Structure 1
Amino acid sequence: MKSGARQTRSGRTAFGGTRVANPGLTSGLLIAINVAVWLLILVTGSHASRWIDWLALRPSGICVGGEYAWPDATAASCTTLGTWLPGVADGAWWQLVTSMFTHVDALHIGFNMLALWFLGPQLEVALGRLRFLALYLLSGLGGSLLVFWFAPEFTPTLGASGAVFGLMAGLLVLALRVRGDVQSILMWLGLNAGITILGRGSISWQGHLGGFLGGLALMGIFAFAPKGPRRTAWQGAGVAAYIVVLVALLALRAGALA
Protein backbone atom coordinates (compact mmCIF):
# COMPACT_ATOMS: atom_id res chain seq x y z
CA MET A 1 0.00 0.00 0.00
CA LYS A 2 2.83 2.40 0.81
CA SER A 3 4.44 1.63 -2.54
CA GLY A 4 1.15 2.28 -4.35
CA ALA A 5 0.67 5.57 -2.53
CA ARG A 6 4.14 6.71 -3.50
CA GLN A 7 3.47 5.82 -7.14
CA THR A 8 0.14 7.67 -7.06
CA ARG A 9 1.71 10.80 -5.63
CA SER A 10 4.58 10.70 -8.10
CA GLY A 11 2.06 10.41 -10.94
CA ARG A 12 0.55 13.84 -10.20
CA THR A 13 1.97 17.30 -10.71
CA ALA A 14 2.24 19.84 -7.90
CA PHE A 15 -1.12 21.30 -8.95
CA GLY A 16 -3.09 18.09 -9.35
CA GLY A 17 -2.56 17.26 -13.01
CA THR A 18 -1.29 13.98 -14.43
CA ARG A 19 2.44 13.95 -15.10
CA VAL A 20 3.36 13.64 -18.77
CA ALA A 21 6.26 11.71 -20.24
CA ASN A 22 6.73 14.16 -23.10
CA PRO A 23 5.95 17.72 -21.92
CA GLY A 24 6.61 19.18 -25.37
CA LEU A 25 3.96 17.09 -27.13
CA THR A 26 1.01 19.45 -26.64
CA SER A 27 3.02 22.52 -27.59
CA GLY A 28 4.30 20.71 -30.66
CA LEU A 29 0.76 19.82 -31.70
CA LEU A 30 -0.42 23.42 -31.24
CA ILE A 31 2.54 24.64 -33.29
CA ALA A 32 1.75 22.13 -36.03
CA ILE A 33 -1.86 23.37 -36.26
CA ASN A 34 -0.71 26.99 -36.47
CA VAL A 35 1.85 26.19 -39.15
CA ALA A 36 -0.69 24.17 -41.17
CA VAL A 37 -3.15 27.09 -41.19
CA TRP A 38 -0.34 29.51 -42.08
CA LEU A 39 0.72 27.34 -45.05
CA LEU A 40 -2.90 27.11 -46.21
CA ILE A 41 -3.12 30.91 -46.23
CA LEU A 42 0.22 31.26 -48.03
CA VAL A 43 -0.70 28.90 -50.86
CA THR A 44 -4.12 30.53 -51.32
CA GLY A 45 -2.92 34.10 -51.77
CA SER A 46 -1.19 35.18 -48.55
CA HIS A 47 -2.65 38.57 -47.57
CA ALA A 48 -5.26 38.21 -50.32
CA SER A 49 -6.36 34.74 -49.18
CA ARG A 50 -10.10 34.34 -48.71
CA TRP A 51 -9.34 32.14 -45.71
CA ILE A 52 -8.33 35.20 -43.70
CA ASP A 53 -11.85 36.59 -44.10
CA TRP A 54 -13.28 33.44 -42.54
CA LEU A 55 -10.69 32.62 -39.88
CA ALA A 56 -9.62 36.02 -38.51
CA LEU A 57 -11.72 37.67 -35.81
CA ARG A 58 -13.88 40.52 -37.13
CA PRO A 59 -16.33 41.88 -34.50
CA SER A 60 -19.01 42.64 -37.13
CA GLY A 61 -19.47 41.47 -40.70
CA ILE A 62 -19.26 43.93 -43.56
CA CYS A 63 -20.05 43.97 -47.28
CA VAL A 64 -17.24 45.19 -49.53
CA GLY A 65 -16.83 45.65 -53.25
CA GLY A 66 -13.73 47.20 -54.78
CA GLU A 67 -13.08 50.49 -52.97
CA TYR A 68 -16.58 50.61 -51.47
CA ALA A 69 -18.05 49.20 -48.28
CA TRP A 70 -21.63 48.91 -47.03
CA PRO A 71 -21.51 48.58 -43.20
CA ASP A 72 -25.31 48.39 -42.93
CA ALA A 73 -25.71 45.60 -45.49
CA THR A 74 -26.54 42.03 -44.46
CA ALA A 75 -25.09 38.81 -45.78
CA ALA A 76 -28.24 38.31 -47.89
CA SER A 77 -28.29 41.81 -49.41
CA CYS A 78 -24.53 41.72 -50.04
CA THR A 79 -24.94 39.16 -52.81
CA THR A 80 -25.95 41.97 -55.19
CA LEU A 81 -23.39 44.48 -53.90
CA GLY A 82 -20.07 42.75 -53.36
CA THR A 83 -18.36 40.24 -51.07
CA TRP A 84 -19.53 39.47 -47.56
CA LEU A 85 -16.83 39.39 -44.88
CA PRO A 86 -18.38 37.62 -41.86
CA GLY A 87 -18.09 38.80 -38.26
CA VAL A 88 -18.70 37.33 -34.82
CA ALA A 89 -21.75 39.48 -34.09
CA ASP A 90 -23.36 38.17 -37.29
CA GLY A 91 -22.92 34.52 -36.38
CA ALA A 92 -19.26 33.74 -37.17
CA TRP A 93 -18.60 32.55 -33.60
CA TRP A 94 -15.88 30.18 -34.77
CA GLN A 95 -13.60 33.19 -35.34
CA LEU A 96 -13.14 33.51 -31.57
CA VAL A 97 -11.12 30.28 -31.77
CA THR A 98 -9.81 30.12 -35.34
CA SER A 99 -8.25 33.58 -35.09
CA MET A 100 -5.92 32.13 -32.43
CA PHE A 101 -4.44 29.77 -35.03
CA THR A 102 -4.28 32.20 -37.95
CA HIS A 103 -1.16 34.05 -39.14
CA VAL A 104 0.00 35.61 -42.38
CA ASP A 105 3.44 37.11 -41.83
CA ALA A 106 6.39 34.79 -41.19
CA LEU A 107 7.78 37.01 -38.42
CA HIS A 108 4.42 36.99 -36.62
CA ILE A 109 4.01 33.23 -36.54
CA GLY A 110 7.73 32.72 -35.93
CA PHE A 111 7.76 34.85 -32.78
CA ASN A 112 4.54 33.35 -31.41
CA MET A 113 5.56 29.76 -32.02
CA LEU A 114 9.03 30.30 -30.57
CA ALA A 115 7.46 31.72 -27.41
CA LEU A 116 5.02 28.80 -27.26
CA TRP A 117 7.85 26.30 -27.63
CA PHE A 118 9.82 27.82 -24.74
CA LEU A 119 6.91 28.49 -22.39
CA GLY A 120 4.62 25.55 -23.11
CA PRO A 121 6.69 22.58 -21.90
CA GLN A 122 7.55 24.33 -18.61
CA LEU A 123 3.90 24.90 -17.86
CA GLU A 124 2.84 21.44 -19.01
CA VAL A 125 5.34 19.90 -16.57
CA ALA A 126 3.79 21.94 -13.74
CA LEU A 127 0.13 21.56 -14.72
CA GLY A 128 -0.24 18.39 -16.72
CA ARG A 129 -1.61 18.20 -20.26
CA LEU A 130 -5.29 18.97 -19.69
CA ARG A 131 -4.75 22.00 -17.45
CA PHE A 132 -2.05 23.35 -19.72
CA LEU A 133 -4.32 23.05 -22.75
CA ALA A 134 -7.10 24.81 -20.82
CA LEU A 135 -4.70 27.60 -19.88
CA TYR A 136 -3.64 28.09 -23.49
CA LEU A 137 -7.04 27.92 -25.18
CA LEU A 138 -9.05 29.80 -22.57
CA SER A 139 -6.43 32.55 -22.29
CA GLY A 140 -6.67 32.89 -26.06
CA LEU A 141 -10.45 33.17 -25.75
CA GLY A 142 -9.93 35.90 -23.16
CA GLY A 143 -7.87 37.76 -25.75
CA SER A 144 -10.60 37.23 -28.33
CA LEU A 145 -13.15 38.63 -25.90
CA LEU A 146 -11.27 41.91 -25.46
CA VAL A 147 -10.80 42.16 -29.23
CA PHE A 148 -14.54 41.63 -29.67
CA TRP A 149 -15.27 44.41 -27.19
CA PHE A 150 -12.64 47.03 -27.97
CA ALA A 151 -11.14 46.47 -31.44
CA PRO A 152 -12.47 48.43 -34.45
CA GLU A 153 -15.78 46.86 -35.45
CA PHE A 154 -14.90 45.85 -39.01
CA THR A 155 -11.14 45.27 -38.68
CA PRO A 156 -9.89 41.64 -38.62
CA THR A 157 -7.55 40.50 -35.85
CA LEU A 158 -5.49 37.32 -35.96
CA GLY A 159 -2.62 35.53 -34.23
CA ALA A 160 -1.78 33.37 -31.21
CA SER A 161 -0.41 36.29 -29.20
CA GLY A 162 -3.33 36.35 -26.75
CA ALA A 163 -2.77 32.70 -25.84
CA VAL A 164 0.99 33.26 -25.61
CA PHE A 165 0.48 36.23 -23.27
CA GLY A 166 -1.72 33.91 -21.20
CA LEU A 167 1.23 31.52 -20.89
CA MET A 168 3.47 34.40 -19.80
CA ALA A 169 0.95 35.33 -17.12
CA GLY A 170 0.71 31.69 -16.08
CA LEU A 171 4.47 31.42 -15.67
CA LEU A 172 4.47 34.59 -13.58
CA VAL A 173 1.77 33.27 -11.24
CA LEU A 174 3.57 29.93 -11.03
CA ALA A 175 6.83 31.62 -10.03
CA LEU A 176 5.04 33.70 -7.39
CA ARG A 177 3.27 30.59 -6.06
CA VAL A 178 6.53 28.68 -5.53
CA ARG A 179 8.35 31.84 -4.45
CA GLY A 180 10.75 31.64 -7.35
CA ASP A 181 12.75 34.36 -9.06
CA VAL A 182 10.34 36.49 -11.10
CA GLN A 183 12.83 39.12 -12.26
CA SER A 184 13.52 37.55 -15.66
CA ILE A 185 9.80 36.94 -16.22
CA LEU A 186 8.97 40.56 -15.39
CA MET A 187 11.70 41.76 -17.76
CA TRP A 188 10.28 39.57 -20.54
CA LEU A 189 6.77 40.86 -19.86
CA GLY A 190 8.00 44.45 -19.79
CA LEU A 191 9.74 44.01 -23.15
CA ASN A 192 6.61 42.56 -24.74
CA ALA A 193 4.41 45.25 -23.20
CA GLY A 194 6.72 47.88 -24.67
CA ILE A 195 6.54 46.28 -28.12
CA THR A 196 2.75 46.18 -27.84
CA ILE A 197 2.55 49.88 -26.94
CA LEU A 198 5.00 50.99 -29.62
CA GLY A 199 3.27 48.89 -32.27
CA ARG A 200 -0.30 49.60 -31.16
CA GLY A 201 -1.25 50.67 -34.69
CA SER A 202 -0.52 47.18 -36.04
CA ILE A 203 -0.42 45.04 -32.88
CA SER A 204 -3.59 44.06 -31.03
CA TRP A 205 -3.20 45.38 -27.49
CA GLN A 206 -6.69 44.07 -26.86
CA GLY A 207 -5.67 40.49 -27.63
CA HIS A 208 -2.47 40.76 -25.60
CA LEU A 209 -4.15 42.28 -22.54
CA GLY A 210 -7.13 39.93 -22.66
CA GLY A 211 -4.88 36.89 -22.94
CA PHE A 212 -2.70 38.09 -20.09
CA LEU A 213 -5.65 38.73 -17.78
CA GLY A 214 -7.12 35.35 -18.70
CA GLY A 215 -3.81 33.65 -17.93
CA LEU A 216 -3.63 35.36 -14.54
CA ALA A 217 -7.13 34.21 -13.65
CA LEU A 218 -6.74 30.64 -14.86
CA MET A 219 -3.30 30.03 -13.37
CA GLY A 220 -4.57 31.56 -10.14
CA ILE A 221 -7.36 28.97 -10.15
CA PHE A 222 -4.93 26.11 -10.78
CA ALA A 223 -2.17 27.23 -8.43
CA PHE A 224 -4.15 28.46 -5.44
CA ALA A 225 -6.98 25.92 -5.30
CA PRO A 226 -7.11 24.34 -1.83
CA LYS A 227 -4.98 21.23 -1.50
CA GLY A 228 -6.63 17.92 -0.80
CA PRO A 229 -8.88 15.36 -2.48
CA ARG A 230 -11.27 18.08 -3.71
CA ARG A 231 -8.61 20.20 -5.40
CA THR A 232 -9.65 19.07 -8.88
CA ALA A 233 -13.28 19.90 -8.10
CA TRP A 234 -12.30 23.40 -6.96
CA GLN A 235 -10.23 23.90 -10.11
CA GLY A 236 -13.05 22.65 -12.31
CA ALA A 237 -15.52 24.99 -10.63
CA GLY A 238 -13.15 27.91 -11.10
CA VAL A 239 -12.66 27.17 -14.80
CA ALA A 240 -16.42 26.77 -15.25
CA ALA A 241 -16.98 30.17 -13.62
CA TYR A 242 -14.38 31.69 -15.94
CA ILE A 243 -16.18 30.24 -18.97
CA VAL A 244 -19.56 31.51 -17.73
CA VAL A 245 -18.14 35.03 -17.43
CA LEU A 246 -16.70 34.81 -20.95
CA VAL A 247 -19.99 33.62 -22.43
CA ALA A 248 -21.96 36.33 -20.62
CA LEU A 249 -19.65 39.11 -21.82
CA LEU A 250 -19.66 37.72 -25.36
CA ALA A 251 -23.47 37.62 -25.40
CA LEU A 252 -23.65 41.15 -24.02
CA ARG A 253 -21.33 42.52 -26.69
CA ALA A 254 -23.05 40.59 -29.48
CA GLY A 255 -26.36 42.07 -28.39
CA ALA A 256 -24.89 45.56 -28.47
CA LEU A 257 -23.57 45.09 -32.01
CA ALA A 258 -26.69 43.40 -33.37
Structure 2
Amino acid sequence: MRTATPRMAMTLGMVTIASYVIISSLNMRDGAALIGGFIPARIAGLQVIGALPLWLTPLSATLLHAGMLHLGFNLLMLFYCGREDEVALGAPGVLVLYICGAYAAAVAQYIAGPMSVTPMIGASGAISALVGAYAILYGRRLPSKYPPEVARWLHIAWLAVAWIAVQLLLGLASRTEGVAIAAAAHIGGFLAGLLLARPLLRWRYRKA
Protein backbone atom coordinates (compact mmCIF):
# COMPACT_ATOMS: atom_id res chain seq x y z
CA MET A 1 0.00 0.00 0.00
CA ARG A 2 1.40 3.37 -1.02
CA THR A 3 1.87 6.23 1.42
CA ALA A 4 2.07 9.93 0.59
CA THR A 5 3.40 11.24 -2.71
CA PRO A 6 7.20 10.85 -2.85
CA ARG A 7 7.88 14.57 -2.61
CA MET A 8 11.64 14.39 -2.07
CA ALA A 9 12.30 12.40 -5.24
CA MET A 10 10.10 14.81 -7.19
CA THR A 11 11.78 17.86 -5.63
CA LEU A 12 15.26 16.59 -6.47
CA GLY A 13 14.13 15.87 -10.01
CA MET A 14 12.54 19.29 -10.50
CA VAL A 15 15.60 21.11 -9.15
CA THR A 16 17.83 19.07 -11.49
CA ILE A 17 15.65 19.87 -14.50
CA ALA A 18 15.52 23.58 -13.61
CA SER A 19 19.30 23.69 -13.31
CA TYR A 20 19.75 22.05 -16.70
CA VAL A 21 17.28 24.39 -18.40
CA ILE A 22 18.84 27.53 -16.92
CA ILE A 23 22.43 26.54 -17.69
CA SER A 24 21.56 25.38 -21.22
CA SER A 25 19.57 28.54 -21.99
CA LEU A 26 22.58 30.62 -20.97
CA ASN A 27 24.90 28.40 -23.03
CA MET A 28 27.09 27.86 -19.98
CA ARG A 29 27.41 24.07 -19.82
CA ASP A 30 31.19 23.96 -20.31
CA GLY A 31 31.83 26.81 -17.91
CA ALA A 32 29.44 25.37 -15.32
CA ALA A 33 31.31 22.06 -15.40
CA LEU A 34 34.51 23.83 -14.38
CA ILE A 35 32.80 25.97 -11.77
CA GLY A 36 30.60 23.33 -10.15
CA GLY A 37 31.98 19.96 -11.25
CA PHE A 38 34.08 17.82 -8.93
CA ILE A 39 37.70 17.90 -10.13
CA PRO A 40 39.89 15.37 -8.26
CA ALA A 41 43.14 17.26 -8.92
CA ARG A 42 41.85 20.22 -6.89
CA ILE A 43 42.51 18.17 -3.75
CA ALA A 44 46.21 18.18 -4.66
CA GLY A 45 46.16 21.96 -5.13
CA LEU A 46 44.94 22.58 -8.68
CA GLN A 47 43.48 26.08 -8.83
CA VAL A 48 40.32 26.74 -10.86
CA ILE A 49 39.42 30.42 -11.03
CA GLY A 50 35.82 31.09 -10.07
CA ALA A 51 35.10 27.52 -8.99
CA LEU A 52 32.85 26.74 -6.05
CA PRO A 53 34.51 25.57 -2.81
CA LEU A 54 35.86 22.05 -3.30
CA TRP A 55 33.81 20.58 -0.46
CA LEU A 56 30.60 21.74 -2.15
CA THR A 57 31.32 20.42 -5.65
CA PRO A 58 30.18 16.81 -5.06
CA LEU A 59 26.70 18.28 -4.54
CA SER A 60 26.82 20.99 -7.20
CA ALA A 61 28.01 18.36 -9.71
CA THR A 62 24.66 16.56 -9.34
CA LEU A 63 22.96 19.60 -10.93
CA LEU A 64 25.14 19.54 -14.05
CA HIS A 65 24.56 17.25 -17.04
CA ALA A 66 26.29 16.85 -20.38
CA GLY A 67 23.12 16.57 -22.47
CA MET A 68 19.49 15.47 -22.67
CA LEU A 69 20.33 11.76 -22.79
CA HIS A 70 22.49 12.05 -19.69
CA LEU A 71 19.79 14.02 -17.89
CA GLY A 72 16.92 11.82 -19.05
CA PHE A 73 18.48 8.54 -17.93
CA ASN A 74 19.34 9.96 -14.52
CA LEU A 75 15.83 11.32 -14.04
CA LEU A 76 14.33 7.97 -14.98
CA MET A 77 16.36 6.19 -12.31
CA LEU A 78 15.77 8.98 -9.79
CA PHE A 79 11.99 8.93 -10.15
CA TYR A 80 11.72 5.14 -10.16
CA CYS A 81 14.15 4.14 -7.41
CA GLY A 82 13.71 7.36 -5.45
CA ARG A 83 9.95 6.91 -5.35
CA GLU A 84 10.22 3.35 -4.05
CA ASP A 85 12.96 4.24 -1.56
CA GLU A 86 10.85 7.10 -0.24
CA VAL A 87 7.97 4.72 0.48
CA ALA A 88 10.28 2.74 2.76
CA LEU A 89 12.63 5.40 4.12
CA GLY A 90 10.64 8.61 3.96
CA ALA A 91 11.76 11.93 2.49
CA PRO A 92 14.62 12.50 4.98
CA GLY A 93 16.01 9.04 4.24
CA VAL A 94 16.06 9.68 0.50
CA LEU A 95 17.78 13.04 1.01
CA VAL A 96 20.44 11.45 3.23
CA LEU A 97 20.99 8.72 0.63
CA TYR A 98 21.30 11.27 -2.16
CA ILE A 99 23.79 13.48 -0.33
CA CYS A 100 25.88 10.59 0.97
CA GLY A 101 25.83 9.03 -2.49
CA ALA A 102 27.13 12.25 -4.03
CA TYR A 103 30.06 12.40 -1.64
CA ALA A 104 30.78 8.67 -1.86
CA ALA A 105 30.85 9.04 -5.65
CA ALA A 106 33.37 11.87 -5.38
CA VAL A 107 35.59 9.85 -3.04
CA ALA A 108 35.53 6.87 -5.38
CA GLN A 109 36.27 9.08 -8.38
CA TYR A 110 39.21 10.61 -6.54
CA ILE A 111 40.60 7.18 -5.64
CA ALA A 112 40.31 6.08 -9.26
CA GLY A 113 42.14 9.15 -10.58
CA PRO A 114 43.50 11.53 -7.92
CA MET A 115 45.24 13.76 -10.46
CA SER A 116 42.42 13.88 -12.99
CA VAL A 117 41.52 17.37 -14.21
CA THR A 118 38.29 16.25 -15.88
CA PRO A 119 35.22 17.56 -14.03
CA MET A 120 32.88 14.88 -12.75
CA ILE A 121 29.32 16.04 -13.44
CA GLY A 122 25.90 14.47 -13.25
CA ALA A 123 23.67 12.98 -10.57
CA SER A 124 24.58 9.40 -11.47
CA GLY A 125 26.68 8.82 -8.35
CA ALA A 126 24.00 10.14 -6.00
CA ILE A 127 21.30 8.21 -7.84
CA SER A 128 23.42 5.07 -7.69
CA ALA A 129 22.97 5.28 -3.91
CA LEU A 130 19.20 5.21 -4.46
CA VAL A 131 19.63 2.20 -6.75
CA GLY A 132 21.75 0.43 -4.13
CA ALA A 133 19.18 1.08 -1.42
CA TYR A 134 16.41 -0.11 -3.75
CA ALA A 135 18.31 -3.35 -4.37
CA ILE A 136 18.58 -3.98 -0.62
CA LEU A 137 15.04 -2.94 0.27
CA TYR A 138 13.17 -4.64 -2.56
CA GLY A 139 15.50 -7.30 -3.95
CA ARG A 140 14.39 -10.86 -3.28
CA ARG A 141 16.99 -12.72 -1.26
CA LEU A 142 17.47 -16.38 -2.09
CA PRO A 143 17.17 -18.98 0.70
CA SER A 144 20.47 -19.50 2.48
CA LYS A 145 21.97 -22.09 4.81
CA TYR A 146 23.88 -19.34 6.61
CA PRO A 147 22.69 -17.39 9.68
CA PRO A 148 20.51 -14.37 8.78
CA GLU A 149 23.19 -11.75 9.49
CA VAL A 150 25.82 -13.63 7.48
CA ALA A 151 23.33 -14.17 4.65
CA ARG A 152 22.52 -10.46 4.63
CA TRP A 153 26.17 -9.47 4.24
CA LEU A 154 26.69 -12.10 1.56
CA HIS A 155 23.70 -10.65 -0.28
CA ILE A 156 25.20 -7.16 -0.03
CA ALA A 157 28.57 -8.47 -1.23
CA TRP A 158 26.96 -10.19 -4.21
CA LEU A 159 25.09 -7.05 -5.24
CA ALA A 160 28.26 -4.99 -4.88
CA VAL A 161 30.33 -7.39 -7.00
CA ALA A 162 27.65 -7.52 -9.71
CA TRP A 163 27.31 -3.70 -9.85
CA ILE A 164 31.08 -3.18 -9.88
CA ALA A 165 31.47 -5.68 -12.73
CA VAL A 166 28.77 -3.95 -14.78
CA GLN A 167 30.26 -0.49 -14.19
CA LEU A 168 33.78 -1.62 -15.06
CA LEU A 169 32.49 -3.11 -18.31
CA LEU A 170 30.60 0.10 -19.09
CA GLY A 171 33.69 2.14 -18.33
CA LEU A 172 35.81 -0.03 -20.61
CA ALA A 173 33.24 0.15 -23.40
CA SER A 174 32.94 3.93 -23.05
CA ARG A 175 36.68 4.38 -23.45
CA THR A 176 36.69 2.46 -26.71
CA GLU A 177 33.89 4.74 -27.96
CA GLY A 178 35.55 7.92 -26.71
CA VAL A 179 32.77 8.65 -24.20
CA ALA A 180 33.60 9.43 -20.57
CA ILE A 181 31.56 7.52 -17.97
CA ALA A 182 32.41 8.00 -14.29
CA ALA A 183 32.27 4.29 -13.48
CA ALA A 184 34.09 4.75 -10.17
CA ALA A 185 31.53 7.34 -9.06
CA HIS A 186 28.69 4.94 -9.84
CA ILE A 187 30.39 2.24 -7.77
CA GLY A 188 30.97 4.57 -4.83
CA GLY A 189 27.38 5.77 -4.78
CA PHE A 190 25.97 2.26 -5.09
CA LEU A 191 28.08 0.97 -2.20
CA ALA A 192 26.87 3.86 -0.05
CA GLY A 193 23.26 2.92 -0.83
CA LEU A 194 23.88 -0.73 0.00
CA LEU A 195 25.36 0.13 3.38
CA LEU A 196 22.90 2.87 4.37
CA ALA A 197 19.57 1.29 3.39
CA ARG A 198 19.05 -0.86 6.48
CA PRO A 199 20.33 1.71 9.03
CA LEU A 200 18.04 4.36 7.53
CA LEU A 201 15.10 1.95 7.61
CA ARG A 202 15.76 1.17 11.29
CA TRP A 203 16.12 4.88 12.04
CA ARG A 204 12.78 5.72 10.45
CA TYR A 205 10.96 3.08 12.48
CA ARG A 206 13.07 3.41 15.63
CA LYS A 207 9.99 4.30 17.73
CA ALA A 208 7.63 1.78 16.14
Q: Give the TM-score taking structure 1 as reference length.
A: 0.61
* Structure 2 residue identity aligned to 1:135: L
Distance 2:202 2:127 in 1: 21
Contact 1:41 / 1:104 at 8 angstroms: preserved in 2?
Answer: no
Contact 1:99 / 1:158 at 8 angstroms: preserved in 2?
Answer: yes
* Structure 2 residue identity aligned to 1:52: A
The equivalent of 1:6 in structure 2 is none
Query: How many correspondences in the alignment?
Result: 185
Contact 1:46 / 1:104 at 8 angstroms: preserved in 2?
Answer: no
The equivalent of 1:45 in structure 2 is 27
What is the RMSD of the two structures over their aligned residues, measured on CA atoms? Answer: 3.3
**1:1-258 superposed matches below 5 A:** 20-23=3-6, 25-48=7-30, 50-61=31-42, 84=49, 86=51, 91-151=53-113, 152-176=115-139, 179=141, 193=167, 194-200=169-175, 202-223=180-201, 229=207
Q: Give the TM-score taking structure 2 as reference length.
A: 0.74
Contact 1:168 / 1:189 at 8 angstroms: preserved in 2?
Answer: no
Residues 220 and 60 of structure 1, relative CA distance in 2, 3 Å threshold: same
* Structure ranking higher on relative contact order (CA contacts 8 Å, 6+ apart): 2
In structure 1, the gaps of 5 or more residues are: 1-12, 14-18, 62-70, 76-83, 232-258
Distance 1:72 1:216 in 2: 32
In structure 2, the gaps of 5 or more residues are: 143-154
Q: 1:212 deviation in Å?
A: 0.7
**Structure with the larger helix share:** 2
Q: Give the 3-state SS of the residue equivalent to 1:42 in structure 2.
A: helix
Residues 122 and 154 of structure 1, relative CA distance in 2, 3 Å threshold: same
* Structure 1 residue identity aligned to 2:62: M
Identity rate, percent: 25
